[in-house]
Amino acid sequence: MATVAEWRAQLGDSVSLTAVRVEPWVTTTLLSDRRPPSIDHGVKRVIRDLPDRLAEAGAVSLDAVAASGRLCPSRFLHLFTTSVGVPLRPYVLWLRLQCGASDSHAASPSRTRPTRPGSQMQLISRGRFVT
C-alpha cells in the first residue's frame, strides 16, 4: 500500500491539482481492485416490482415485499441493505418521492412522463441514486 507521501509525489503540487488529474489517479490507484457490488436476485426482483406495488396498493408490508423476493423478512432486510446500500424504509420513501415527481410531470403538458414510476432512477454506486 502506498503512503501519503507517495500519493503526493504521484499527484504533484497541490496548487496545480485539477479534477482532470485527480480523477484518473483515483480510478487507477485507489479503486483499481474495487468490484461492483452484487445484488441478490430476490432483491433485484423486489427493486423491479416495488414501483408497481406502490402504485397499486400505496402501502406495502415487509412480509409481502420479502415474500416477493422469496426470502424471510429478516434475511431480506439484511440483503437489501447490503446490496443497495440503504435500508428498505428510506428506499421506499425515496421511491414514493419519485412517484410523486412523475405524477407532477404528468400534470404538466410540456413534459413527458416516465414509462413507470422510478424509471429514471439509476444506481450510480452503492447507495447513491440520481434521476
Q: What is the pLDDT of residues 17-36, one digit of tens each?
A: 888 888 888 888 888 777 77
Give the mean model confidence (pLDDT) for residues 98-126.
Answer: 54
Which ranges in the chain are annotated with CATH 1.10.10.60? 41-130
Does residue 110 carry a pLDDT above 60? Answer: no
With CA atoms as reference, report the closest residue to 98 among 50, 42, 62, 34. 50
CATH superfamily of 41-130: Homeodomain-like (1.10.10.60)
Residue 10: which residues within 8 A CB-CB, separation 6 or more? Answer: 2, 25, 29
Q: What is the pLDDT of residues 40-66, one digit of tens each?
A: 899 999 999 998 888 887 678 899 999
Question: Is the Cβ–Cβ distance between 57 and 121 less than 8 Å?
Answer: no
Distance separating alpha carbons of residues 18 and 120, to the nearest angstrom: 31
Q: According to the per-residue pLDDT averaged within each range, which of 82-86, 109-113, 122-126 is highest?
A: 82-86
Distance separating alpha carbons of residues 126 and 11, to the nearest angstrom: 27
